[in-house]
Amino acid sequence: MILHIDFDPIAIRQMIRAGAVTLGGNKQLKIYGLLSCASGKRMKAGNRVFFRNAQEAASYGYRPCGHCLREQYKTWKLHG
**Domain range list for the chain:** 2-79
Please report which helix (H) or strand (E) contains residue 32, including its range: strand 31-34
How many Cβ atoms sit within 10 Å of the Cβ of residue 64?
25
Q: Give 49's strand partners.
A: 3, 25
pLDDT at residue 66, rounded to an integer: 96
Could you state, in chain order, the average pLDDT of each consecutive group of 10 residues for the chain (80 residues)? Answer: 95 95 97 93 93 97 97 92
Asked: is 2-79 a CATH 3.40.10 domain? The reply is yes
How many Cβ atoms sit within 10 Å of the Cβ of residue 10?
8
How far is CA 10 from each of CA 5, 16, 20, 46, rounded to the nearest angstrom? 12, 10, 14, 16
CA torsion angle for 55, 61, 67, 73 (degrees, to 10)? 70
